Amino acid sequence: MRRVPVLLFTCLLLALVLVSPVTAQSNLEPNEARTYEHLWGGDSVTYVASLTSGHWTVIVTSDAFWGLQIRIVVATDSSFADIIAENGLSTGNFPSIEFDLSSAATVYIRLEENSVYGDTSGFYDIGVYDEGHVVGARFGSFLSANWMILLFTLPFVFIIIPCVFAARRGRGPGAQQYYRRRRSFTMDAPSYAIPEEQRGRTRSDGSDLTTVRVPKVCPNCGAALAQSTLDWTGPLEASCNYCGATIRATFERV
């Protein structure tokens, strides 16, 4: 009776050994991607594809989050004795490979983890494409592999850049003059507060040019300025009655 469990265990072990080589190979349909595949560090996965004659490209896409590094080997036999294309002869990430078939054939595509220490793993998509589909596949793989970059880049392009241009326009001469006017007021200054070269000049109506522009607040103490709180000390210069700081006015024709 004790031999029965041992016999059952032996049969189960043999079944796993015999079945595992078969289940390790997955079918690839031409021009269709297999998605959410997984590769462990130091491991490999084999795919089988029945292809027509022509030029073919294998493309593997993995999100940068995983940091997966792989190489690809293509052969016409499951033991990979007849290799028709391979890449990644050194360590690193080699996510695509091209090869030609002179006639219809079944090919075996082996995906191998290819980092220096054999410690990268992650999810990926894989497909084998003919010349009529490879461009779209490459574009799709770019979007898939760089979706995080695009996610942060698009708001920058459509929101931040226009704001930068608007800010730069706000620094132009017209904008500066507009903001300067909003932060200041005009008043009639005494004649000795007018620059000497401007004294005696008149407007078209015959009145003297005595209008100057003064800041609304003192740049030193922040007190609100008015004509009654200024003590003119010289041409285009006055002192703040609150802190005594020098206030500089600008001559303006009105």
Could you report the per-residue pLDDT of 31-68, keeping only the tens digit for each? 999 999 999 999 999 999 999 999 999 999 988 888 99
Contact 114, 45 (CB under 8 A): no
What is the residue extent of each domain of the chain? Answer: 22-148, 180-251
Q: pLDDT tens-digit profile of 67-125? A: 999 999 999 999 999 999 999 889 999 999 999 999 999 999 999 999 999 999 999 99
Q: What mean pLDDT is predicted for residues 185-194?
A: 75
- Of 196, 186, 171, 197, give the one whose Cα is nearest residue 226: 186
Q: What mean pLDDT is predicted for residues 218-227?
A: 82
Distance CA 53, CA 50 (A): 10
CATH domain 22-148 topology: Jelly Rolls (2.60.120)
Tell me, yes or no, if the pTM score tops 0.85.
no
Distance CA 60, CA 33 (A): 9
| Structural element, H or E, at residue 206 | none
**Sign (positive or negative) of CA dihedral 111, 115, 121, 123:** negative
Q: pLDDT tens-digit profile of 124-148? A: 999 999 998 888 777 655 555 455 5
Instruction: List helix spans (H) across the chain.
Output: 3-23, 134-145, 147-155, 161-169, 173-182
| Chain Cα centroid distance, residue 209 | 57
Distance CA 163, CA 150 (A): 19
Distance CA 61, CA 76 (A): 23
DSSP E strand boundaries for the chain: 25-27, 34-39, 44-51, 54-61, 70-75, 83-86, 96-101, 105-113, 122-130, 184-188, 211-215, 230-234, 237-240, 246-248, 250-251
